[in-house]
Amino acid sequence: MTPFGQVAGVAAPMMAPNVDTDVIMPKMFLKGVDRSGLGEGAFNLLRFSGGRVNPDFILNQDGYRDACFLVVGPNFGCGSSREHAVWGLEQLGIRALIGTSFAGIFNDNCANNGLLTISLDPERVTELASVIADRSRNDVAVDLAAQTIRFDQGRRTMPFEIEPARKEAFLTGRDFIAATLVYADDIRAFEARHRAASPWMF
Amino acid sequence: MAARTLYDKLVDAHVVRNLDAAGLVLLYVDRTVLNEYTSPQAFAGLRAAGRKVWNPGAALMVVDHVNPTAARRVRVMPDSAATRQVDYFAENARDFGIEYFDILDPRQGIEHVVAPEQGLVMPGMVIAAGDSHSTAYGAFGALGYGIGTSDIEHYLATSTVRYRRLKTMRIHLSGTAAPFGVTPKDIVMEVIRRIGADGATGYAVEFSGPAVSDMSVEGRIVMSIMIVEAGARGVVIAPDQKVLDYLKGRPRSPKGEMWERAATSWLALSSDPSAKFDREVTLDVSEVAPLVTWGTSPDQAIAVTDDVPDPVQQAEPARKAAAMRALSYMGLTPGTSIQSVPIDFAFIGSCTNARIEDLRDAAEIFRGRRVAAGVRAIVVPGSTQVRAQAEAEGLAKVFTDAGVEWRQSGCSMCLAMNDDVLSPGQRCASSTNRNFEGRQGPGARTHLMSPAMVAAAAVTGRITDVRSLLGGSHQ
């Protein structure tokens, strides 16, 4: 996964609740065997309408086209387990999502790819969303090591929580499989005990 | 030892080692099922790193999302991208030594139908797979949950996943459901409506209570699959004699003395009586009516006897905006009786509702009736075995006599990744689990309901209370 340190850029508000992975990555883009072309797929049916750019969609509007943060509504990423949604957001240039809650599989997929998800209290998310809705004040800087979000042209800062193991993984961009294979002997020992206890499972 | 929930017992029994002090563990996964669209990049990752599959015998590969459902089945896909996906899938099965059911295999079908059918799902297991509806396996007292492609790759390479313990929620179902017309689908939709589309996010759900004991194993599967639409990241139901009866004699179920040992162990799996859950939800199922969604999120549902709600009743601004957008997308006006809404299409299928009991329910309504003029209705069985059984029981003939198309098995129009797709603006009564914007095709409008309710809508041409078609003589 890509390491995440300090990232600064434009944030776009997308406050609808329950934005699902069918919307983030429509099914037409799921027929590949690799990760290519998913930047085009991300929010495709919202970004384009009848082959034309949809001017109502936030990421098509002046000041938000190059957003690298999305400030989102509750339960973002619900629905299908398709990791293509996360790959597509990354290919679109999104580095972090800031919201109240993220759906479980989607949140894990983000963590496995270096797309940071930051959970804040609803009041904080609303405060951030209202500031960045003003396109002259839509700049945000996220410092993962310091666990802070700086916004409102650098005038305001809010802290965020993140589990230490998750933070470490984001900062270093770890290969989780290599890290787990260090414990190969533990896995084999577990398997032997498990097989003895429940032989019908094997 | 302190009283534990069944979920905690299953996790404890699969911890290879703790990874941090906050509950992150390396969790052993007993089994997975792979499909053609969430697995390719995982295998590509293994190939790139020169890694092997830790335990190829614990996995099964099934094509289910992209395959056509046309009556005459051939191995070649009509679409070149799907062909490439299926070819790569078969190549991965061969190169990594994993069992593979291709689309002509008599055991093939939707992964969540096939795995239990083959006896691959056993109580006490942990089963993680690359599809959100892997919660299905909770119906057997296994911990089932969905994972993404990176976690599939991690699982394949190590037989484990990095796992953080969830909070626990017990959903206690009391009472007795109405004798006909109210199904496990309606019960779980009522739960989702009450707790919301994120009501179980961060939780593992245990269903319990007399209404669960009364329910068939297939009905429990429906609830275990569908509760993921409230965000549940794992489901368990304590196994009972019904589960044992379901599993006995299945191709991969243990036999002889091993069966006796397994069965004894399985019946001992349950939450301790004094175990504490982080959240408790109770529902008296006798209060549940047939449900139907009006919006674009599975929690936007009403009783079939109700009117389309007015977003003005929503106090919270973002939810109000979401409701208004949903009504606009669905082409509905507040205050309209949902039973006056005409449909263009009826779909019975998907991992939620394409098992034999679902098809029997639907056939009950179709028997002696015809699909209404202007409506196209299709039934897509959950597996080739379900299809064969439905033909043996005469259900297929009931469908075709009623003017319903009888198809080959697959995921089909649940997510419409194959050639079964709705056109923009078409309105579908659907036995599936998701009514998201664009789910069944760009601009398509989906109303979720039980298979019997879909059949009722198909024969009347509009959303209909299935109970009005029961009793008395057919047309």
pLDDT of res. B458: 98
pLDDT of res. B475: 38
pLDDT of res. B339: 98
Residue B313: how many other CB atoms lie within 10 Å: 9
Let me know: does B254 contact A200? Beta carbons within 8 Å.
yes
Residue with tokens 């029961």: B470
What single DSSP character describes residue B277? P
Cβ-based neighbours of A164, under 8 Å, separated by 6 or more: B20, B22
Give the β-pairing of A156-159 and A148-151: antiparallel
Distances (CA, A) of A103 to A108, A116, A159, B286, B305: 9, 14, 22, 31, 32
Of chain B, the end-to-end C-alpha distance in Å amounts to 62
Report yes or no: B174 at the A interface, CB cutoff 8 Å: no
pLDDT of res. B314: 84
Cβ-based neighbours of B269, under 8 Å, separated by 6 or more: B6, B9, B10, B123, B124, B141, B238, B239
C-alpha A148/C-alpha A151 separation (Å) is 10
Q: How far is B367 from chain A (nearest CA, A)?
A: 35
Distance of CA B364 to the CA centre of its chain: 22
pLDDT of res. A157: 98
Report yes or no: A105 at the B interface, CB cutoff 8 Å: yes
pLDDT of res. A119: 98
Minimal Cβ distance to A194: which of B28, B318, B417: B28
Report yes or no: B41 at the A interface, CB cutoff 8 Å: yes
Mutate to test the interface with B, among A36, A112, A119, A200 (most CBs of B within 10 A): A200
Let me know: does B166 contact B204? Beta carbons within 8 Å.
yes
Candidates B322, B459, B445; CA nearest to B399 is: B459
Candidates B33, B31, B12; CA nearest to B23 is: B12
Structure token digits, residue B226: 């569908």
Let me know: does B437 contact A21? Beta carbons within 8 Å.
no
Candidates A59, A57, A75, A95; CA nearest to A21 is: A75
- Phi/psi at B461 (5° precision): 85, 5
Residue B66: how many other CB atoms lie within 10 Å: 26
Let me know: does B301 contact B440? Beta carbons within 8 Å.
no
**Closest chain A residue by Cα to residue B161:** A180
The four Cα atoms B379, B382, B386, B391 give a dihedral, to 10 degrees, of 20
Q: How far is A113 from chain B (nearest CA, A)?
A: 8
Mutate to test the interface with B, among A15, A180, A191, A194 (most CBs of B within 10 A): A180
Distance of CA B114 to the CA centre of its chain: 12
Q: Per-residue pLDDT tens, chain B, 475 aa: give them.
A: 799 999 999 999 999 999 988 889 999 999 999 999 999 999 999 999 999 999 999 999 999 999 999 988 988 888 899 999 999 999 999 999 999 999 999 999 999 999 999 999 999 999 999 999 999 999 999 999 999 999 999 999 999 999 999 999 999 999 998 877 999 999 999 999 999 999 999 999 999 999 999 999 999 999 999 999 999 999 999 999 999 999 999 999 999 999 999 999 999 999 999 999 999 999 999 999 999 999 999 999 999 999 999 998 888 888 899 999 999 999 999 999 999 999 999 999 999 999 999 999 999 999 999 999 999 999 999 999 999 999 999 999 999 999 999 999 999 999 998 999 999 999 999 999 999 999 999 999 999 999 999 999 999 999 999 999 986 444 3
Distances (CA, A) of A202 to B261, B382, B472: 14, 26, 52
pLDDT of res. B473: 40
Minimal Cβ distance to A34: which of B44, B131, B233: B44
> pTM of the entire structure?
0.97
